[in-house]
Amino acid sequence: VFPVFLNVLDIFNLNTVVENSFMLCSFMRRHIKSCIVYVAPMKALAAEMTNYFSKRLEPLGIAVKELTGDMQLTKGEILRTQMLVTTPEKWDVVTRKSVGDVALSQIVRLLILDEVHLLHEDRGPVLESLVARTIRQVESTQSMIRILGLSATLPNYLDVATFLHVNPCIGLFFFDSRFRPVPLGQTFVGIKTTNKVNQITNCVSVITLLTLYLCVSQVMVFVHARNATVRTAMGLIEMRSRNKQMKEMFPEGFGIHHAGMLRSDRSLMESMFSKGHLKVLVCTATLAWGVNLPAHAVIIKGTQIYDAKRGALVDLGILDVMQIFGRAGRPQFDKYGEGTIITSHDKLSHYLTLLTQQNPIESQFLDSLADNLNAEIALGTVTNVEEAVKWLSYTYFYVRVRANPLAYGINHKAYQMDPSLEMYRRELVVESGRKLDKARMIRFEERTGYFASTDLGRTASHFYIRYNTIEVEYADILSIVRDEETEELEQLMCNYCELPAAGGVENGYGKVNILLQTYICRGEVDSFSLISDLSYVAQNAARIIRALFEIALRKRWPAMTYRLLTLCKVIDKRLWGFSHPLRQFPNLSHVVLNRLEEKKLSHMLHHVNIGLTVKQCVHQIPSITMEASIQPITRTVLRVRLLVTPDFRWNDQVHGSVGEPWWLWVEDPINDHIYHSEYFLLQKKLPQHIVFTIPIFEPLPSQYYIKAVSDRWLGAEAICIINFQNLILPERHPPHTELLDLQPLPVTALGNRQYESLYKFTHFNPIQTQIFHTLYHTDTNVLLGAPTGSGKTIAAEMAMFRVFNNYPTSKVVYIAPLKALVRERIDDWKIRIEERLGKKVVELTGDVTPDMRAIMQADLIVTTPEKWDGVSRSWQNRSYVQKVAILIIDEIHLLGEDRGPVLEVIVSRTNFISSHTSSSVRVVGLSTALANARDLADWLGIVQVGLFNFRPSVRPVPLEVHIQGFPGQHYCPRMASMNKPTFQAIRSHSPAKPVLIFVSSRRQTRLTALDLIAYLFRNFVMIPAVAISCHHLSQVLIATSTLAWGVNFPAHLVVVKGTEYYDGKSRRYVDYPITDVLQMMGRAGRPQFDDQGKAVILVHDIKKDFYKKFLYEPFPVESSLLSVLSDHLNAEIAAGTVSSKQDSMDYITWTYFFRRLVMNPSYYSLEDISHESINKYLSNLVERSLQELECSYCIEIKEVCVCNAEEYAELPVRHNEDQLNSQLAQQLPLQVNPHSYDSAHTKTHLLLQAHFSHAQLPCTDYTTDTKTVLDNAIRICQAMLDAVANEGWLVTAISICNLVQMIIQGRWLHDSSLLTLPHVEQQDLYLFRKHIKKYVQTKCILMGGVHQITLIKPCRDIFQVCHTSSFVWKILRIRASLYSFPTRIRNYTPASNQLKTKKTFGLCEQKLCVQ
C-alpha cells in the first residue's frame, strides 16, 4: 500500500475491455497533467482502445496515442501525450531501454493493465516483469505510480492482488457472473468423430441447426483460418439450400471477415453487419479484438489454431475464448447473449474447467527467468545475486510458489525449512546467471556474486533476443516444411527471390530465406500457413537483423556491419539495395520509377510536373560531405577532427524535424577491423563537428577509411580516406624523473622559524624533499611535473621564500588558471603570508582590481593569465612589472587548452622583458605529469637541473582508479544509468568517508542527488550520518567540474559521472579536457587527510580505451596558439612589440607553438620539417593572420616601394603632365591612385611600367625622365637588397632580385624569355611556336650544383627561323648566372620561385646576355 496512491484490482466476469474502460475516465481526469499508460494484450485491441479513448477524451483535451510495434512515437510526441496505449512487449522494451529517460518515468502516474489473467499465458512473464519493474521504480525514486489491474473473474484473485500490491480491504473489487450486465448463456459441444471429413460435416450440421435456431438475431461464427471463412459460409448456405443451386452469400445474409481481405471489403462487411443487413458473419478471431461489432450469439467452430511461433496447431487460448464470448450480448445492444464453443470431445472438459474458473492461474515466469534476469542486469537494476533474489520477490511467481510450492517442484519439508524460499530463489538466480555467463551475455563472478552486462547481453535485452542463441531464432519456429507448402514455396522462389535461397524449399532456413525475400519484394502468398509464417518472419526479421548489426559493430567487423545495416534498411523499406534510390519516395509512381530504371528519361523528364518532382526527390536524397584532419597525439594515438556537412535539400515531411540518423565508423581495410564507431544525428542545415581518437600502429598503414552510412536511407553513404603517407609521428618522449629514495627533509631546513611555523607537518614529502635545493637555494628556472596532490603549492612557496630572502624589493607573481583558484590562494596566503610574514598580498583579477599604489606596495601578486597579459602589455610604462623577480605559473599544462595561448604570450613577453632589463625573471612552472616535459622545459629556458617530471604513480597518496563504460547513444539516459553504479561505488569504496561526485551541469547535480537519496532509502544502506547535498560540505558532495579547480575539498572517493558537457557554442556534447578529468581525480586522497584515495570514472563505452590510456600515462601538451594567432598578433602590434612581418616571424619563434611545430609537425598540418617547408609554412601563417587583421580593419599594412624612395621626390612634374600621366596610366597594366597624378612618385611608377611594357611615351621629356629613374633604380634596389638580406627577409629579397632583372631587361617577369633577344618583338613569337616542335632539355648546373635550371634548347629549325628573319647568327651562347644571395637565405628555395620551363631563364634574366 503506497502512501499517496492506491493500487486497484478490478475483477469482472467475462467482460471485455470496452465495458471496463468506462470506469477509467475518472482516473484520467485526475491525471491530466501526467501520463497514463494503458497496456492492452494485443495490437488490434490497442488500436481499438486508442480510437475509443481518443473520441471519448477529446472534449477533455487529453491526447491519446498508440505505441506499438506498428506505431512508433518520438520522445517529444510521448512527452506531449497524456495517455499511451501500448502492448506488454512494447512497454517492456521501452522501460528496458529508457531507465535513463527521466522525463518519461517521472510523468507516468497511472499504469492500467488490461486482461491481468494473462499471467498464466505465454506473455504472462512480460506482465510480471513490468509490474516488478514498476514497483521497484516507485520504491527507488519515491515517484508514485498507481497500478490498475483489469481482469476476468479468477479463482485466486487474492494472489493477483498481492502481486499488484493491492490493499484487499480498499483496492480489491471482485464481481462474479451474477453482476454481468447482459446475461450470457454458454453451450459446450464436443465432437467424438475422429474422421476429419465427418468431423467437419458434423460441425457444419450443428452450426446450421444453431443458426436456424438463432436466425432471429445476428450470429458471429469464429473460425481459425482465412480460407475457412469462405468454406464455412458456403457450407452453411448449401445446408440451407439443399433443393436449390448454391446462391451467393450476401443475398442469404452471410458475410466473411479476415485480415487477408482488402481494407475496403472488411469495412464494408463491418458496416453491413453493424447495420443488421448481415445475419451471419463468419470471421477469424482477430475480429474479436480489433473491431467492436454487436452480435446476439457467437459460435466458436473448433479450438485448434495454427501458431506461427511454434509452427504447429495449438489449443485456442482461454483469453481468445473469453474475448470472443464477450462479443455476445453487448450491454448497449442486447439484453442477453449466447456463446457456443464446438471442440473435440477430449478438449471439452479443459475449456469447461477454464471457463468455470475451477483451477487457479499459475505463473509461467520460470521459463523466461534467464531472459528477464538479463534485461534487469542490462538495465542496471540488478547488479548482484542479492538484488536478483530481492527482485524475484516482486513477481507473481514468488506469490504462487509460496501458495502452491508443490506445483513448482518444492516439497513440503524444503518449504518448512525455508519459508521465504530465499535459498530456492538464490539457486534459480545462480543457475540463470551461469547460463547467461556461458552465453557471454553477462559476466558472473560467483565468488563475489556480482553481475556485469556485456554488449551481447545488452543487445539481446534491447531487441528481445533469447539468451540461448540469436542465430537459431527461426530454427525451432519454422523447421517444418509441409507438403502442401512445397509447390507454393517453389513458385515464390522463382518469382520473388532476387538472391539464391540457400537450402531451397526442403528445410527450415531455406523457407525463411524465401519468405523474407518474398516480403521484401512485396509478393503475394496464398496458403494460410505460409501467410502466418510470412507475417511472423516480417515481424521479427527487422528486430533480429538490427540486433545482429549491433553485434557485428561491437565485434568490429566492418564488412559484416555494412551488410547487416544495409539489410536492415532493405527489410524496413521492403526495397532491395540495388533498386533505384528514388523508389524510397512514395510520391513517385511505379511508371516513373520503371522508366528511371530503364533510363528512358528523355520524354518523361521533359514533362513539367514529373520532371520537377523527380528533380526535387533527387535533391532530397540524403548526402553528406566529409573533411577529416588528423593530429598525432602520441606515436600510438591519433586524433581525428571530422567535419560533416549536409549536401541535400532538407524537407521536414521527408526527413523529419529532429535530424537524420547516421552511423559512422573508421575501418582498416587491410586488417578488416573497426577502430571507432558512433551514432550521430545530422542536424538541419548545420555542419556536424565530430572529434574522436583512433589507434595507430607502426609501421604505418597506407590509409584508413571513414565510412558514414545513413540509418534510414538506402544508397545514402559517404567515404572519407585518411592517408598516412605524409604523416610524421611525434618524437618519442624522454624518460621521467626518478623519485630518489631520500630521507624526508624536515621543515627546519628552511632556516627561518617564521617559515617553519606556516606548516602543520614536520617533514616534506619525497617529491618536495628532492626539489627543495633547486627551488630554495638557486635561481634556476624550474618545471615541476607531478600528480595532483603532490604538494606543488608548497613547492611554489619555497621559490617565494627565496625571493623574500634574497630580493626583498622585488615582486612575486603567481598565476592561477581560474579566478576560483586565485580566491582560494588569496584566502590562504592572506593569513599565512600577509599576517604571519608581513608580506603584502594583492589579488589582481577581473573581479578585483586594486589601485596602483596597492600594486606598487605588494610583495606577492596573485592573478589570472588574462589579467596579467593585459597588465604586462604596457610593461614599459609600469615599473612594478619590471620589478618582478619570479613568475610562478600554476597548471602550466593548460597550454593545450583554450587559455593556453595566453600563457604562451605571458612567457614569451617575460623573456622579452628580461632581455631588455638588467635583471632576469625566474620562471617556475607547476604541472601534472607530462609526456613531453623536455619540450616545455626548453621553451621555458630550463636546463636539466631544473626539470622534475615525475611519473603519475609517484603520488604521495596512492590512488586506485576504476573505469567503467556505459553504452547508449543519448546523453541524458546514459547519465541516469550511471546513478546506481555511483551508489554501488559509494557502498563499496567509501561507505563512511567523504565522497565527491562530479557531474556536468547544475541539473545533473539535482537529478543525481535525488536518485542517490532514493537508493539510500530503498536499500537502507548503513552509511552513518550520510548527507547528500549539492555543493555544500557534507559526506557526499555532488558538484560540477568547476569545483575541481576552485575549492580544495578533501574526499576519499571521487566519482566522475560522465566525461562530457554541453557546449552552447557548438550546440552539442563535447568531452572534458583530459586535464580536467585528472584534476577531478586529484581531489581523491588528499595528503593531509587520507592514506589512500579511490577514483571511479564513468565514461561512454566508446571512449573507455582512450581514458584507460591517458589516465595511467602522461598526456602530451600541444600548443593551441594557432587558432587565435591573429588576436595575439594584433595585441603585440598595438603594444608596439611587432611592427613588421619579420617581427611577426620572430614573435612566433619565441612561442611554444614553434617548439612543438618541429617536434610534432603533423599535428599542425605541416607536411615535412625541412627548412624550406617550415619557412613557407610560417610565412603563409603570418600572411594569413595579418590579412585577417587587415580585413577586419584592425591594422594597416604598408609595403616598401621603390617608387616611394626619397631620390624620386625631386622628379619634375611639369604643367599639364598630370593629364599626360592620366592618359599614360590607361595604357599600363598596374593601376595607380587616380588622385595622385601630380605626384613625382606616381610619375616614377608610371615610367617604370612604361619601361617594362615598351609603351610609347607621350613626349621626349618623359624619355629623359625615364633615364633618370632607371639610373637611380639599380642603386636603390641594391641598397634595399643589402638591407633585407641583413634582416634575413627571403621573400622580399627574391622580389627585389626580380625587380632588378626587370629593370635591366626592360621586360615584365612573366614575359617570354625570347623577348630578351635583340630585335625579337611580341609579334614574332608565333614564328617560334610554329617551327619549334621538338625540345631538348638540358640541365645547367649553376652555382656549384646548388641550383638547377631547366633550359629549352631549340632544334636546328630555330636557325632557319633566324635566317628567314635576316638574322646573322654565328654563335649562340647563353651564359646564365645567379646573384650571390646573402648567407642567411642562400639555401632557401621558396615554392613560389621554383625555376621551371615556363620562365625559361627564371632568376637568371638579370645577367643573361647574348655574345
The CA-based diameter of the chain, rounded to the nearest angstrom, is: 134
Task: Identify the pLDDT of residue 711.
Answer: 92
Q: Bigger pLDDT: 1034 or 1202?
A: 1202
Task: Identify the pLDDT of residue 528.
Answer: 65
CA angle at 629 for the pair 627 and 632, rounded to the nearest 5°:
160
Q: Measured between alpha carbons, how far is 131 from 139 in angstroms, rounded to an integer?
A: 12
What b/e sequence results for 221-260 when a residue is b if at least 16 CB atoms lie within 10 Å of its CB, and e otherwise? Answer: bbbbbbebbeebbbbbbebbeeeeeeeebeebbbbbbbee
Task: Identify the pLDDT of residue 9.
Answer: 63
Task: Identify the pLDDT of residue 461.
Answer: 86
Task: Identify the pLDDT of residue 1071.
Answer: 83
Average of per-residue pLDDT across 211-231: 67
User: Which residue in this structure is represented by grid cell 608548497?
Assistant: 794
Q: Bigger pLDDT: 963 or 1320?
A: 963
Strand partners, 1070: 1061
Phi and psi (nearest 5°) for 121?
A: -95, -175
Tell whether the model's pLDDT for residue 496 goes beyond 70.
yes
Say what angle helices 979-989 and 1002-1019 make with each other, to 10 degrees: 60
Phi and psi (nearest 5°) for 562?
A: -65, -40
Phi and psi (nearest 5°) for 191?
A: -100, 120
Average of per-residue pLDDT across 431-450: 88
| 249 pLDDT tier (thresholds 50, 70, 90) | low
Tell whether the model's pLDDT for residue 303 goes beyond 80.
yes
Task: Identify the pLDDT of residue 390.
Answer: 92
Q: Bigger pLDDT: 57 or 17?
A: 57
Task: Identify the pLDDT of residue 609.
Answer: 67
Kindly report, residue by residue over 126-147, the tens digit of the pLDDT: 999 999 988 988 887 777 889 9
Kindly report, residue by residue over 561-573, the tens digit of the pLDDT: 999 999 999 998 8
Tell whether the model's pLDDT for residue 1086 goes beyond 50.
yes
Tell whether the model's pLDDT for residue 626 goes beyond 90.
yes
Task: Identify the pLDDT of residue 1348.
Answer: 34
| 471 pLDDT tier (thresholds 50, 70, 90) | very low
Residues 6+ apart with CB under 8 A from 1246: 1221, 1224, 1225, 1228, 1232
Kindly report the three-state secondary structure assignment for every residue of 343-364: EEHHHHHHHHHHHCCCCCCCCC
Phi and psi (nearest 5°) for 1173?
A: -70, -40
H-helix or E-strand spanning residue 1327: helix 1325-1331
CB 826 within 8 Å of CB 842: no
E strands, 1262-1323, in order: none
Task: Identify the pLDDT of residue 1337.
Answer: 37
| 605 pLDDT tier (thresholds 50, 70, 90) | low
Q: Which long-range contacts (CB under 8 A, 24 or more apart) does 1190-1197 make?
A: 1194/1130, 1195/1130, 1195/1133
Kindly report, residue by residue over 352-394, the tens digit of the pLDDT: 877 776 678 889 999 889 999 998 888 888 888 999 999 999 9
Kindly report, residue by residue over 1256-1267, the tens digit of the pLDDT: 888 888 888 898
| 397 pLDDT tier (thresholds 50, 70, 90) | very high
E strands, 68-196, in order: 83-86, 108-113, 146-152, 172-174, 184-191
Q: Which long-range contacts (CB under 8 A, 24 or more apart) does 401-404 make?
A: 401/363, 403/156, 403/159, 404/360, 404/362
- How is residue 1143 written as a grid cell? 617581427
Average of per-residue pLDDT across 1194-1204: 74
> If you average pLDDT over every residue of the chain, what do you get?
78
Q: How far is CA 738 from the centre of its chain?
A: 41
Per DSSP, 8 falls in state E
Q: Cβ of 524: how many Cβ atoms within 10 Å? A: 12
Kindly report, residue by residue over 310-363, the tens digit of the pLDDT: 667 788 877 678 778 877 876 666 778 888 888 888 888 888 877 776 678 889
Tell whether the model's pLDDT for residue 628 goes beyond 60.
yes
E strands, 929-1075, in order: 947-949, 959-966, 995-999, 1028-1030, 1036-1040, 1053-1057, 1060-1063, 1068-1071
**In the chain, % of residues over pLDDT 90:** 13
Residues 6+ apart with CB under 8 A from 75: 101, 103, 104
Q: Measured between alpha carbons, how far is 99 from 747 in angstroms, rounded to an integer?
A: 55
Q: Bigger pLDDT: 180 or 54?
A: 54
Kindly report, residue by residue over 502-541, the tens digit of the pLDDT: 877 777 778 888 888 888 888 888 776 677 778 778 878 8
Task: Identify the pLDDT of residue 297.
Answer: 85
Lowest mean pLDDT among 279-288, 1035-1044, 1337-1346: 1337-1346
Q: Is the pTM of this model over 0.75?
A: no
CB 443 within 8 Å of CB 398: no
- How is residue 485 written as a grid cell? 507448402
Q: Measured between alpha carbons, how far is 1107 from 962 in angstroms, rounded to an integer?
A: 11
Question: Which SS3 state, helix, strand or coil, does residue 282 take?
Answer: strand
Task: Identify the pLDDT of residue 984.
Answer: 84
Q: How far apart are the first and last CA of the chain?
A: 116
Task: Identify the pLDDT of residue 662.
Answer: 92
Q: Bigger pLDDT: 999 or 180?
A: 999
Q: Measured between alpha carbons, how far is 783 from 922 in angstroms, rounded to an integer?
A: 11
- How is residue 848 written as a grid cell? 578585483
Q: Measured between alpha carbons, how far is 1374 from 550 in angstroms, rounded to an integer?
A: 73
